[in-house]
Structures are given as structure tokens and as C-alpha cells.
Chains A and B, each alone.
Chain A
Amino acid sequence: GQQLNQSPQSMFIQEGEDVSMNCTSSSIFNTWLWYKQDPGEGPVLLIALYKAGELTSNGRLTAQFGITRKDSFLNISASIPSDVGIYFCAGHPDPNAGGTSYGKLTFGQGTILTVHP
């Protein structure tokens, strides 16, 4: 099946630092999504990207849809303690490139973010 490689697996940062994480795929995606999961909760959608090269912000979060359509990036600026959690990327394979058209997302393994006050 589809594989998404998300990196880094974990990050330990100081409050106020910027954070970057990324996902790469072995195939072309037509949608990229970024989710955050707090401990004991379900994933919450942060940002959705639909077009190669697209750059979208949500507060201190900025995500980009890679030009190759095989990768995506998430940046968090000026981190705060409540940014702690697991961040997941997810992608929808391009049905015109052999992917399914039934909205089946492929998820990365997650990046565990720890922010030290």
C-alpha cells in the first residue's frame, strides 16, 4: 500500500523555538492534511492543502504542499507549551495517478512534539 514517511519521529524543543516537520510519499497525492492529537483525544484537523505549491497558514502554523506533489511540510513558529502533542500528516492519493477515489487517506506515523517551558 501507500507509504508516508514522516520526520522527525520526535522533537524536544524550548518554548519560543520554531518547529519544522515533513512528510514524503512514494506516490503523487492530490491532497495533504495536517492533524494534531492531544493525549487521550482524537486527531484534530489543522490545515488542508489541495494544490501543488500551496502555502496555507492557521495562526502560528504554516503548511506547504510540495511542488513534486510527493511531500508536505508543517512549520510552527514561536512554540508554546500547548503545542505539545502528536502531529500527523495525511495524504489522499491522486485518482488520476492510480490512487483510489473513495477518500481513503494514508497517514504518517506521527511526530511527537515536546515543548519545555
Chain B
Amino acid sequence: NAGVTQTPKFRVLKTGQSMTLLCAQDMNHEYMYWYRQDPGMGLRLIHYSVGEGTTAKGEVPDGYNVSRLKKQNFLLGLESAAPSQTSVYFCASSTTGFKQYFGPGTRLTVT
């Protein structure tokens, strides 16, 4: 039981490039989330999903898109990366929406 895994662990992008971050969970959780963490800002919700095929905007959704085609996977896309998207990205999943379990994070630098 691996819990929540994230791919890749590190990535450097140039401004304007695109990429997709993959989150996978093997706990059969309905809810999945993408957060970003910046110094002094805590965790901010980007997008979330309450089940397969559903997505919704969180607190800071601009510049990101998501898809949840399979229950176990939640993808976060950056279509045209900007330096302001340099951050650590965390995926989380939950069975109830309350107790959320986090992945190890992806460190993204946009130059």
C-alpha cells in the first residue's frame, strides 16, 4: 500500500513550457486535491475532485487545469508556465473529505 504518490519529484521549466504532474492513490479514496505551498503562505488549494470524472476550482486555480479520468489518478496541468508558479505542489486524497493524506510533493522551478 503506497498511499499517495506523485510524479515527478523535481522539475525545472522555462517560462511558457507546459507540463503535467501526476498524482496516484491506492486507497480507493473518492476525494483528491492539489495544493501549492509557498513560504509563509501555508497550503493553498488549487483544484479538487469529489469523484471520478469531476473537478472543481479551489482558492488559486488560475493557470492550472486538472483531470480525473480514473478514480485513482488526479492530474495537474500547467499549459504555459510562469515564474509565479514556482512552488512545491502537493496532492492529497481523502475518503470523507476531512482526513486528507498527502503525497511527498513535487518541487517545480520556472525560470
Stretch at the interface among A63-71, A74-82, A103-111: A103-111
Chain A contact-residue range equals: 20 to 34
* A33 interface residue (CB < 8 Å to B): yes
Q: Is B77 close to A, CB under 8 A?
A: no
> In the complex, are the beta carbons of A42 and B103 less than 8 A apart?
yes
Interface string of A19-57 (1 = CB under 8 A from B): 000000000000101010000111111001010000000
Residues of B within 8 A of A88 (CB): 42-43
Contact A45:B42 (CB < 8 A) given known A102-B50, A102-B56, A104-B48: no
Check if B100 is an interface residue, CB within 8 A of chain A: yes
Most chain B CB atoms below 10 A, which of A42, A92, A107, A110: A42
A104 B41 Cβ-Cβ under 8 A: no
Inter-chain contact total with CB atoms closer than 8 Å: 62
The reply to whether the CB of A117 lies closer than 8 angstroms to some CB of chain B is no
A98 within 8 A of B: no
- A1: CB under 8 A from chain B? yes
Is B50 a contact partner of A45 (Cβ separation < 8 A)? no
Q: Is the CB of A42 within 8 A of B98?
A: no
A107/B31 contact (C-beta < 8 A), A31-B98, A48-B99, A102-B56 known: no
Closest to A92 in B: B98
Interface hits, B70-111 → A, CB 8 Å: 90, 92, 94, 96-105
Say yes or no: A103-B50 contact (C-beta < 8 A), given A92-B97, A109-B41.
yes
**A107: B residues at CB distance < 8 A:** 42-44
Kindly list chain A residues whose C-beta atoms are within 8 Å of the C-beta of B48.
102-104
Min distance, Cβ A92 to any Cβ of chain B, angstroms:
5
Query: 5 new A-B pairs (CB below 8 Å) besides A42-B103, A103-B31, A109-B42?
Result: A43-B90, A101-B97, A102-B48, A103-B94, A109-B40
21 A-B residue pairs with CB within 8 Å: A1-B59, A41-B105, A42-B90, A42-B105, A43-B90, A45-B100, A48-B98, A88-B42, A90-B43, A102-B31, A102-B50, A102-B56, A103-B96, A103-B97, A104-B45, A104-B58, A104-B97, A107-B42, A107-B43, A107-B44, A109-B42
